[in-house]
Amino acid sequence: MPNYSITIEYDGKGFAGWQFQPNTRTVQGELESALQILNSGKQVRIHGAGRTDAGVHARGQVANFILELQWDVEELRNAINGNTSEDIHIHSCHLVSDDFHARFSAKRRKYVYHCRINETILDRNFVWRLGWSPQIEALQSCADAVKGDHDFTTFSKWSSEVKTRRCIVYQSKWINDGDFVIYLIEANRFLQHMIRYLVGTMMEVPRGRITEKDFVNLLEACDPKAKIAKAPAQGLCLEEITY
């Protein structure tokens, strides 16, 4: 049976995250409902490259699924778009090898986090409205410490099901972009809430609540009970998956 991959953009505001939950609106659930219609009423399981949290957006989420019949990829893309809501859009669809898995075949995942430094409200569902301008040098000093192979126990939601909390971070940088300060991070994998904990806690440094050294100590402590800050969901977007 043919295996397809799709690249998905979605506005996470109206969803309780990517992962399917009964009696709750999720991105995975809505896509599976659409695919079931296209699969003669038979259930289709879709696998995403990343399990975004409630309120988190995606511009380049990737997922794969198997259908019983082979479709023209452009017709399939249009059919999925025609059976999903306006806050989900499929940008591309491809026929892939049988062993392709959106999550396990992925090599890198890239996220961006937008913080608005002025008081404009029109994009409030897609940014963290700081309303002040943080010192970018202090933020970058913390971001530099994140790069490399680390145990991110301090900066992740504790779960006994997670076997390892080590992640390799390839990019970690803050960008000053006029009305925004933007955090870009790329890694082989991410833990639950990891980026939001990193952003929230890094922002405590220019606020004067902790020092850059304190941030590094938190990272090195690997302490699931450490006191850290959490950035809101709406500023975070999954940008790209690399295979």
Residues identified as active-site: 53
Question: Do 10 and 18 contact (CB within 8 A), yes or no?
Answer: no
**Is residue 184 packed enough to be buried (19+ CB in 10 Å), middle (13-18) or exposed (0-12)?**
middle
Token pair, residue 243, equals 């295979």
Single-letter code of the amino acid located at 18: W
CA atoms of 42 and 53, how far apart (whole Å): 27
* Cα-based distances in Å from 115 to 7, 143, 208, 219: 25, 15, 18, 22
- Residue 234 has, within 13 A of its CA and on its CB side, a CA count of 12
Q: 131-167: b or e for each residue (b if 16 or more CB lie within 10 Å)?
A: eeebeeebbbbbbebbbeebebbbbbeeeeeeeebeb
Instruction: Give strand pairing partners of 236.
Output: 113
User: In this structure, are residues 193 and 179 in contact, taking their beta carbons and an 8 Å threshold?
Assistant: no
Rounded to whole angstroms, how far apart are CA atoms 100 and 46?
A: 12
Element at 28 (helix H, strand E): helix 27-38
